[in-house]
Amino acid sequence: MYLWSCPAELQEPTDKTEAESDTLSSQTDTTLQDESIYECTVPPTNVLQMMAEVEWFRNEKAKDILDLAGEAAKGMTERPCVDKTGVKSATSPPYMQVPLEDVQVRCGEMAKFHAIIEGNPQPVVGWFKGISLLLSSEKIYQFNEGTSYSLILYNTQAEDGGVYTCMAKNMGGEVVCKAELVVQEDKKSQEAKKQSPRRKLHSFYEVKQEIGRGSFSILKRVIHKGNRMPCAAKFIPLRSRLREQAYRERDILVQLSHDRITQLLDQFETRKTLILILELCSNEELLDRLYKKNVVTEAEVKFYIKQLLEGILYLHNSEILHLDIKPSNILMVHNDRDDIKICDFGFSQKINPFEPQYSTYGSPEFVSPEILSRSPVSTASDIWPVGVICYLSLTCKSPFAGENDRATLLNVQHGIISWDSSDWDHLSKEAKDFILKILQPAPG
């Protein structure tokens, strides 16, 4: 097993304060163009196909690719238990045979969420709005018959609208599904709403210290007044050129629910600001964790890369492009554990199979070549930075870093990588093959 030590002069300080990095603080408008430059991309855009073809992952059991050997995360992000012996157990984690669907009703009507959930033993099911557990009352009715679970809300009002979560849990693990309730208001309700105050952040959360800042957003630590749960609040100004991007980030986060993705828990809006309440991770980035170690093995790096690919696979299966995969957007969930989450969806896009899509921003060392050349982006655009991160983690050197950002961007565009460094020579054949399959020019 190859070991490497990170030179002291390359180690970064680990006292960063961001709980969720905001990409906008370090973005470079990648407007460089060169007609003589060929386009680079990743041939295998399917994550599972790529992992199956590479020897570095071939010795792993197939189920380990999608269900990694990590300790269970706390709260709503606890991972299913995995039997590493290969012996099947009678216990099976919950599975949503029929997931929740978005519901739209008129003000005053009944709203019903329905799911069919299987599992052995029969899971315990809880319903949430945001991060608040819902209990049965005159307005709320929870119903269960066999594997069928329902949440019914009577006499819905505008304030009942929002994201609802169903969480099922048993000894084998848990599953989470989210859906949105939209309550259409009549004219009378709309007039009353104009005269009544908006739903205010300070009514539900205590706003604490700032924990991150970007060019266009601020991140603060907040605590829910009811259950005392700490969260991260991302404040995004609704200026004209940012409004569409802010709403797109919110709409994408609403539909995502996965262990490797930071979850949207609640949202607030004022006339000038959109506030996203997000799951709070530690202030430690993936590379910070690696730089703390004197010696890092390939097995450790592979463990993190597999988690990253698992999250990207989920995004692509959900028809989402992240388009800003980089170390500062990969956070450790806990200070004393090894599970990671992908955060910051400010540049994300919903995949549109009927027309080409483009992205104009990225971080120089991690941006994919098609973004630089103003070519259409694809799922391959999220795989390219995985190769860069893998190279950086294994050699403690950036593959494309130049004397300045422009030189770095030119190296990316031309595919100029230092393959002959001593650190690269000491990597295993399997690790080299994995990186080479990603960081290569498009055929033809």
Distance of alpha carbon 149 from alpha carbon 170, whole angstroms: 15
The overall longest dimension of the chain from CA atoms, in Å, is 73
Closest CA to 234 of 212, 257, 263: 212
In terms of Cα–Cα distance, which of 234, 269, 227, 275 is closest to 76? 227
Instruction: State whether the Cα torsion 287-292-294-296 is positive or negative.
Output: negative
142: how many CB neighbours lie within 10 A of its CB? 16
Please report the DSSP string for 29-41 in residue order: E-----TTPPPB-
Query: Strand runs (DSSP E) across 130-204, as ranges?
Result: 132-133, 140-145, 148-153, 162-170, 173-184
Q: Is the Cβ–Cβ distance between 150 and 143 less than 8 Å?
A: yes
Please tell me the distance from the alpha carbon of residue 257 to that of residue 274, in angstroms, as a whole number.
Answer: 21
Residue 108: CB partners within 8 Å, gap ≥ 6?
A: 155, 156, 157
DSSP state of 159: G
292 annotated ligand-binding residue: no
Instruction: Decide the pairing of beta strands 148-153 and 218-224.
Output: unpaired
Helix (H) or strand (E) holding 128: strand 124-129
Name the residue type at position 230.
P
Radius of gyration of the chain, Cα coordinates, nearest whole angstrom: 23
- Phi/psi region, residue 5 (left: phi>0; alpha: psi -120 to 50; beta: rest), is beta
Known binding residues for ATP: 234
Known binding residues: 234
